Structure 1
Amino acid sequence: MHVARSLADAEPTPYWTAGSVRPDPGPALTGRRACDLAVVGGGYGGLWTALRAKERDPSLDVVVLEAGRIGSAASGRNGGFCSASLTHGLLNGVGRWPDDMDVLERLGWENLRAIAATLTRYGIDADWDPTGELTVATQEWQVPLLEEEAEHAFELGWEPILLGREGVRAEVNSPTYLAGLWDRHAVALLHPAKLAWGLADACRSLGVRIFEDTRVTGLRPDGGRLRLDGAHGAIGAHRVALATGAFPPLLRRMRGFVVPVYEYALVTEPLSRAQRDAVGWRRRQGVGDSGNRYHYYRLTPDGRVVWGGYDAVYHFGGRIGAALERRPAAFASLARNFFTTFPQLDGVRFAHAWGGVVDTCTRFCAFFGTAHDSRLAYAAGYTGLGVGATRFGADVMLDLLHLGVGPGEETERTRLAMVRDKPVPFPPEPLRFGAIELTRRAMARADREGGRRGPWLRALDRIGAGFGS
């Protein structure tokens, strides 16, 4: 294995957007305009909100305002795992909302099926592949965690398959695997950028106006509307939905709850037939390991391996910028871990290496709220699980805005403790940076020391806080 050689020709661009026919950009917002619902953010969260609003009430005038290009941020950079989980995994949900898990799991499954139906209804070709997901243990301390998750899954009516060493290696051949939990139905793999572009096309087909290269710089009441200001125009809206992900929120009250975290990914050149045979992986499951610093990986339709995760990097002050998407040390760590997992692929080269920013909160899944007398709703903090959960989040925001819901009426979604509660906030700087760095180091130490959680991680566990991507 020669890590530097394997990365020598990797393009510093996301695989998903480099190899696809990217749509032409939409117009920027100019002049003064008005609408019923303005959605800030043209990622999955914003596009699902616009689409679901028009499906609820076709008469609504809906506008989407995107600071860059559709699919240019997290929606075009993720691994393409569309999960039924709304809680970033079963154990996280059971630990936080045990009384609501039956409902949360049912709503998550309904959400996943609805996404598949939406792709069919609008003719969105996002390479949808319902492969399921294989969670693997690579250290002995992780095996009981898989067994515990399997037990909870059976209690909730799932039928996952718990695999021992030989069974899991028969599915995907890695000498590092000690056990696996295979859920055959809870995850579909897809092409993330094609999903974003397809959702945008579906929105436009229903009459949604999408403005790209339109960064919203201000939000304020303006008579009976909320005014959103951009560089070259402004829009007045009766209702506003904020779906800005990791980018600085327009509401000050949100800033303590979400931080932007960079994570990184690689994609290989297409594997040869012999290399594919050496790995197995005939059922093409999405795979994730069980470390505190975990990897996710999958096959693409043309036989490449997408390999990402592991490092989650926060920059002081929540700094975001294109230069931070390139981190040679992170790419090298990913490559080393790839060859440790699949030594039979020694000599494979990586074709793309990129980074992207994720909206992270301390409970690892979305939080929600309203402002301006419930004329504005927001959802953020998906922590890497937004491919599927953003559709659920869109429906929560529309419920909170009473679009398609009677005044004062609650829904099954808005009654959930997950929707009503907020995560533990991050402290202000410089404590924020220090606490996150301390947590990252403690997580790495726990992985090295058999999963033993030191005093700092145990303290975070007691208050229900954590850090990840």
Structure 2
Amino acid sequence: METVFDAHVDPGLIERSLGGTSFESVWLDVPRPDFPPPSGPVTCDLLVVGGGYTGLWSALHAARRHRDRRIVLVESDRIGWAASGRNGGFVDASLTHGFENGKSRWPNEIDALDALGMENLDGMQAEIAELGLDTEWERTGMMSVATEPHQIGWLEQSADEGQGQFVDRSKIQEEIHSPTYLAGLFSSDTCAIVNPAKLALELARACRDAGVEVFEHTKAVRIDSGGAALRVHTTGPTITCREVVLATNVFTSLLKRNRLFTIPVYDYVLATEPLTDAQIDRIGWPNRQGIADCGNQFHYYRRTADNRIVWGGYDAIYHFGRRVKSDYEDRRETYRRLAAHFFITFPQLDDVRFTHRWAGAVDANTRFCAHWGLAREGRVAYVNGFTGLGVGAARFAADVCLDLLEGADTPRTRFEMVKKKPLPFPPEPIASVGIQATRWSLNRADHNAGRRNILLRALDAAGLGFDS
């Protein structure tokens, strides 16, 4: 059985649309400040390792909680250069990678988790305004769209569970003109869109304004925990500190115990040239919602402040050995597939060209959302596993890390989601075989009216899974 995205698209159109693309994130194509590495040994109260969202929020909130402490953040490359500068800019309220995922794992906590997720999103919006951060924040809401008949029932069920307003075909076509849309589910307040690189860079500015010392091009390579202090060895000077937050996302953890809990899954994105007013009129979309379709292999897309369309998702590629390599990012067949799916969704935009193509590694775990822990006698806190929905959840995760270091009993730290870890992935070659079999099964389910085969049903029963 074919899906709507198996339709034929003129290869010449695809080639023309991709012909002028730059191989870089559209978000990172901006001026940025420099944060030079330290010139000598550093001593501090708290060291944050990682200059993405989790690390930046951890450092900022630590500085705001304890204004008398010396806080240092180190980044191995540039602030926001990895996932925080390559994502779609969707700030979702969910802490559990969606309601269904959270409900299946923590049915007794999902209502409280959802409430705390909304509190976190509202707090993030208020804090960005309070600090005067230029992030292109828009509280647009999110539209999930059905592109296959069986998905309509899924959206109706979600609406019945209070997850949004069901929108039938006629109403969604009035607002957003795509021949692929059969129905929609609109949640007006659970999602914002943002310029992700500006968010990272503005958080770095806020950190510096709050007294945090930020160092780029300073890679942490080892933690020594003997004695009263921790010593973090870097590619530059050694940093001596009392506590550490590890916010290294998909990259190899400094704690060996963590290395089987996450895998790198590559996600791919295109950005169009800025659309003219006439081109925008052809598709509608006046309210600028974030949009995602409902397949296991799904697309996510949104309008930018300068009226580009950022279009990503569908393929989720794992490479044998858990390696993170730039060689994996320029995958021609995926960019061609994404372009074809764009023109299937919006055939009236056949005169639009793409200007940027890029990819990045998502830190996936077996439960699809973040997990936390403490190490080295409670002096090192860590979080990993956002699985692609961490722009908003990273702020919550940072506060959990700080709570854990302080030994604080808070509503955040009481959740089973925080107290328990997911199952680890098996070692190679078992991991690769299992992941590829699961990806094949998810694609088959998309082509079989959503029906899940025995492998997917077994993974559901075990609380495991793998998707994009």
Tell me, yes or no, whether TM beats 0.5: yes
Counterpart of 1:98 in structure 2: which amino acid? P
Q: Is this contact kept in 1: 2:442–2:467, CA < 8 A? A: no
Distance 1:148 1:419 in 2: 28
What residue identity is the alignment partner of 2:330? R
Q: Which one of 25, 28, 42 corresponds to residue 17 of structure 1?
A: 28
AA aligned to 1:373 is: E
Which residue in 1 is equivalent to 2:85?
76
The whole-number CA distance in structure 2 between the counterparts of 1:142 and 1:220 is 52
CA distance in 2, matches of 1:66, 1:383: 21
**2:177 aligned residue (173, 185, 193):** 173
Please say if residues 29 and 230 of structure 1, whose CA atoms lie closer than 8 Å, have aligned partners that are also in contact. Answer: no
Matched position secondary structure for 1:22: coil
Counterpart residue number, 1:157 = none
- TM-score normalized by structure 1? 0.96
Report the Cα offset of residue 79 of structure 1.
0.4
AA in 2 matched with 1:153 = G
* Aligned positions of 1:220-369 closer than 5 A: 220-369=224-373
- Contact 1:130 1:189 survives alignment (8 Å): yes
1:309-458 matches, cutoff 5 A: 309-402=313-406, 407=407, 409-458=408-457
Q: Retained in 1: the 8 A contact 2:92–2:191?
A: yes
Contact conserved, 1:360 with 1:468, CA < 8 A, in 2?
no
Is 2:47–2:241's contact at 8 Å kept on the other side of the alignment? yes
Q: Deviations over 1:133-188 (max 9, x none)?
A: 0001111121222122222226xxxxx21111111222211111111000111111
| Contact 1:69/1:213 (<8 A) preserved | yes
Partners of 2:312 and 2:27 in 1: how far apart?
Answer: 14
What residue identity is the alignment partner of 2:367?
R
**Corresponding letter in the other structure for 2:235:** A
Q: Which whole-Å deviations, capped at 9, do the CAs of 1:9-66 have from their partners, x for residues lacking one?
A: 0111100111x2222x211134322111111101000000001111111112111110
Return the match for 1:153 from 157, 162, 166: 162
Q: Is the 8 Å Cα contact of residues 445 and 453 (structure 2) preserved in structure 1?
A: yes
Corresponding residue SS for 2:302: strand
Q: Choose the corresponding residue for 1:95, options 104, 117, 132.
A: 104
Q: How many residues align?
A: 457
Counterparts of 2:156 and 2:416, CA distance in 1: 27
Match of 1:36 among 25, 30, 45: 45
Task: Please give the secondary structure, in 2, of the residue aligned with 1:359.
Answer: strand
Q: Give the 3-state SS of the residue equivalent to 1:262 in structure 2.
A: strand
- For residues 256 and 319 of structure 1, the distance between their equivalents in structure 2, rounded to whole angstroms, comes to 12
Cα distance between partner residues in 2 of 1:467 and 1:60: 41
> Residue in 2 aligned with 1:50?
59
Distance 2:72 2:227 in 1: 19
Structure 1 residue matching 2:457: 3-state secondary structure: helix
SS in 1 for 2:264: strand
Cα distance in 2 for residues equivalent to 1:387 and 1:277: 30
Inter-partner Cα distance in structure 2 for 1:453 and 1:215: 43
CA–CA distance in structure 2, aligned partners of residues 368 and 264 of structure 1: 27
Q: Distance in 2 between matches of 1:294 and 1:423?
A: 24
Match of 2:6 in 1: none
Q: Deviations over 1:445-469 (max 9, x none)?
A: 1111111111111111111111134
Q: Does 1:116 align with 2:125?
A: yes
User: What is the alpha-carbon distance in structure 1 between the residues aligned to residue 436 and residue 317 of structure 2?
Assistant: 9
Q: 2:260, 2:426 within 8 Å by CA — same for their partners in 1?
A: yes
Q: Counterpart in 2 of 1:141? A: 150
Q: Secondary structure at the match of 1:265?
A: strand
Q: Give the percent of matched residue pairs that are identical in Structure 1 and Structure 2.
A: 50
Structure 2 residue aligned with 1:3: 14
CA distance in 2, matches of 1:329, 1:229: 40
Whether the 8 Å CA contact 1:130–1:188 is kept in 2: the answer is yes
DSSP-derived class of the 2:38 partner? coil
Partner secondary structure for residue 153 of structure 1: coil
Whether the aligned pair in 2 keeps the contact of 1:129 and 1:190 (CA below 8 Å) is yes
Secondary structure of the residue aligned to 1:316 is: coil
Name the amino acid aligned to 1:22.
Answer: R
Distance 1:97 1:146 in 2: 21
> Bigger shift: 203-212 or 25-34?
25-34
Aligned residue for 1:141, secondary structure, equals helix
Tell whether 2:176 aligns with 1:203.
no
* TM-score for the superposition, normalised by structure 2: 0.96
SS at match of 2:318: coil
Q: Which stretches in structure 1 are left out of the alignment for 5+ residues?
A: 155-159
Q: Tell me how far 1:274 sits from its aligned partner.
A: 2.2
Q: C-alpha separation between the residues in 1 aligned to 2:203 and 2:433? A: 39
**Paired position in structure 2 for 1:467:** 466
Instruction: Provide the alpha-carbon RMSD of the alignment.
Output: 1.1
| CA contact 1:222–1:236 (8 Å) conserved in 2 | no
Q: Distance in 2 between matches of 1:387 and 1:373?
A: 29
What's 2:76 paired with? Answer: 67
